[in-house]
Amino acid sequence: MRCGHCPLTYPPLNSAIIIGSPQMPINIFTNTRKFYITTPMAKYTGTRNYKHDRPTCTGVLVTNLGTPDAPTTPAVKRYLAEFLSDPRVIETPKFIWWCILHGIILRTRPQRSAAAYKKVWTKNGSPLLDIASRQARKIQTELNTRTTHSIKVELAMRYGNPSIKQALEKLRDANANRILIFPLYPQYSAVTTASTFDAVAAVLKTWRLIPEIRTINHYHDNPDYINAVANRINQYWQTHPKPEKLLFSFHGLPKNYLLAGDPYYCECHKTARLIADRLALKKAEWQLTFQSRFGPRKWLQPYTDKTLKKLAKKGTRQVQVVCPGFSADCLETIEEINMQNRAFFIAAGGEAFAYIPALNADDGHIQVLSNIITTHCQGWGEDQHDLPQRLERARQAGAKQ
């Protein structure tokens, strides 16, 4: 049916045209030459058994990178597939990287990584998950002593389990209308911190009621954190001699990420300098390095493994390594540093190598993390004074509870 005033052709009266995709069809109905366009309503999930007079709480989502569910090749493959598919981690065109990841990396790397995980796996499972779980429990206990407000702490891993989606849903079930996101990465990077915020946003965009959100980007120069790491080193030196050289080893990052504006490199240097100043170390007594590089690209330098070999060959006999960028010991500290890099140093002529453990779930570390949380939650008080009135208003509008 053609319009007499323009070249448009209308569909017949009382007909329907379906366009769009099978997942999201758009129905165009015609009636007396008027168009009615309808689309399925977006599905936003709500709180199960929501009650208008239920008290609210403040949620704290504590996150870390992640770990496979088991030290097996299939479990590690699933974990690596999720981790290495994150565009924040690998900034390579998607199709090219998909071919490399699934055609090469996931066919070879999982078996090698599973062997490494078996070396560090304990009766409690993954060291990272075990330590992070204890951190979350102790933070919850500490926060309960600091406030009369209701606070709920949940742990999540960016990759693997417990997932960010699972943890956020637990906070929603607890009726958290304010949530603080706290990635336990002292130094900010788009690869870690920003990726966590991406995952949180991906979950929240499916919720009907979005809670108030605050985020902690970093705490690389927080005085409590600096003092805690310095105290950890001093405590170690009370039972072990000071080394000829102390290495501050941070996780590596491709150099082009730094050139694109990622502040990670600068924040690592500031952290190491502040700790060294706190320990009153001379410049010749310490050095910053980067570990865990992956692939053929240039990464942040100097590299930890090459530095250790070089030091040993030049006559350094005693070194100690501390990893201030890791809030909990994991594969990268236990296996890569304390096993692999120890072997590199000794094989190159070194005599004494020691790894100084991370802060983990020590009481002092819990105090530091709780202080940071308390600071960022300022102004978030309870708002429960009109709960009966809320329920009454909701019932008048037709709500059952």
Helix (H) or strand (E) holding 21: none
How far is residue 165's CA from residue 75's CA, in Å, rounded to a whole number?
20
DSSP 289: E
- Other CB atoms closer than 10 Å to residue 51's CB: what's the count? 15
Topology alike, domains 57-220 and 223-356: yes
Q: Enumerate long-range contacts of 379-387, CB under 8 Å, 24 or more apart.
A: 380/58, 380/149, 380/178, 380/212, 381/149, 382/55, 382/56, 382/149, 382/150, 383/56, 383/177, 384/55, 384/56, 387/52, 387/53, 387/54, 387/55
Residue-level pLDDT, tens digit, the chain, 401 residues: 555 555 445 455 454 444 444 444 555 444 544 444 455 555 888 777 777 768 899 999 999 999 999 999 999 999 999 999 999 999 999 999 999 999 999 999 999 999 999 999 999 999 999 999 999 999 999 999 998 889 999 999 999 999 999 999 999 999 999 999 999 999 999 999 999 999 999 999 999 999 999 999 999 999 999 999 999 999 999 999 999 999 999 999 999 999 999 999 999 999 999 999 999 999 999 999 999 998 889 999 999 999 999 999 999 999 999 999 999 999 999 999 999 999 999 999 999 999 999 999 999 999 999 999 999 999 987 665 565 566 556 666 666 65
Question: Which residues, in sequence order, are CB contacts of 140 under 8 Å at separation 6+?
Answer: 151, 152, 153
How far is residue 386's CA from residue 34's CA, in Å, rounded to a whole number?
47
Q: What are phi and psi of 391, to 5 degrees?
A: -60, -45
Beta strands in 163-264, from DSSP E residues, in sequence order: 176-183, 212-215, 245-251
How far is residue 148's CA from residue 248's CA, in Å, rounded to a whole number?
40
| Structure token digits, residue 135 | 């951190």
Amino acid letter, residue 378: Q
The pTM (predicted TM-score) of the whole model is 0.85
Q: How far is C-alpha 57 from the chain's CA centre?
A: 23
For the chain, give every domain's residue range.
1-40, 57-220, 223-356
* Selection from 107, 256, 105 nearest residue 190 by Cα: 256
How far is residue 69's CA from residue 308's CA, in Å, rounded to a whole number?
32
pLDDT value for 36: 45
How far is residue 230's CA from residue 226's CA, in Å, rounded to a whole number?
6
Distances (CA, A) of 60 to 152, 298, 377: 6, 37, 9
Distances (CA, A) of 188 to 177, 253, 334: 26, 12, 23
Q: What are phi and psi of 322, to 5 degrees?
A: -125, 145
- Hey, which CATH number is domain 223-356, 3.40.50.2300, 1.10.3720.10, 3.30.300.20, 3.40.50.1400? 3.40.50.1400
* Selection from 335, 330, 373 nearest residue 192 by Cα: 330
* Fold of domain 57-220: Rossmann fold (3.40.50)
